[in-house]
Amino acid sequence: TAPPPASSYAHCPGLDHFFADLRVPCRYAEYGCESFVPYFRSDEHRDACGHAPCHCPEPGCYLICSPTALAAHLAGEHSWPVDEIAYGTPRMLAVPVPPPPAPAPAPARHVRLLRGDDASVFAVAAGPLGGGAAVSVVLVRADSPAHPRLACTFCAKPPPESAAAGLEEGSCCFFATMPVRSSALADGDGVALEKELYFAVPGEMLCEGSRELLVSVRIDRSCGPEPASEDYKMVAQN
């Protein structure tokens, strides 16, 4: 038989075997990933890789590193508090809420980290909202549809002196469940409350004097991939 024209496609089984066995380093090797993945699955691994770089959100700091390294940096260099949290288990936090600032370029905020039992890192931001407070949570990780869907349930507790105001001490007055999105924290994203879905409580829920908010945080895994960013905008608008 005559050979196929030069412009036609000729299947080469040998190349199939070659590329099937070919393994390449993760493109995030410089950020600590030591995986060598099949060539055909390199994009799939990239979308799920936990070493995808994130940014230090502190003004004037330009560090870019993996989420795990960033958590150590924020705790060590910028004194962010770190609390451990187990999925599906409420974690009580006493979150100081800064007072509303005088006119200033940047709003006041308190930031801290939560470390999950799978070493995932979450950033918690709290700030004034009118006379009360707002709290948000994001997963510190580059945004990717491969990430598991997470939800956070907030439950605010009245302060100890609330009994004088006619509230039952220890009762739950405000709670909400909302999706947890991923953020690489670039340009302050993820810790700027005005850009996030947030849990809002009135000023009566803050401890007098210290302005601490006693809030329980529970993070749950749920089925399916993380929603697209447009879905979060729809939730925020509703």
Residue 113 has a pLDDT of 96
Go through the domains of the chain in sequence order and give each one's CATH number. Answer: 81-237 (2.60.210.10)
User: Could you report the average pLDDT of every consecutive run of 10 residues in the chain (238 residues)?
Assistant: 60 65 86 87 84 92 94 96 95 90 67 93 92 92 76 88 53 81 86 82 88 93 58 40
Closest CA to 57 of 147, 178, 140: 140
Cα(158)–Cα(132) distance, rounded to whole angstroms? 13
Q: What is the DSSP string of 25-86?
A: E-TTGGGT---EEEGGGHHHHHHH-TT--EE--STT---EE-HHHHHHHHHHHS---EEEE-
Whole-prediction pTM value? 0.79
How far is the C-alpha of 122 from the C-alpha of 116, rounded, in Å?
A: 8
The pLDDT, as a whole number, for residue 8 is: 62
Instruction: Please report which helix (H) or strand (E) contains residue 218, including its range.
Output: strand 212-225
CB atoms within 10 A of CB 233: 11
Give the pLDDT confidence score for residue 1 in this predicted structure: 58
Contact between 107 and 210 under an 8 Å Cβ cutoff? The reply is no
Residue 98 three-state SS: coil
Q: What is the pLDDT of residue 193?
A: 76
Query: pLDDT value at position 10?
Result: 65
Taking the CA atoms of residue 182, residue 62, residue 50 and residue 39 in that order, the dihedral angle to the nearest 10 degrees is 120
- Look at residue 146 in the predicted model and tell me its pLDDT: 61
CA quadruple 36, 40, 41, 46: dihedral positive or negative?
Answer: positive
Specify the pLDDT at position 232: 43
How far apart CA 95 and CA 126 sit, in angstroms, is: 7
- The strand order across the sheet containing 148-157 reads 91-96, 212-225, 148-157, 174-180
Q: How many CA atoms lie within 13 A of 238 on its CB side?
A: 7
Greatest CA span in the chain, whole angstroms?
97
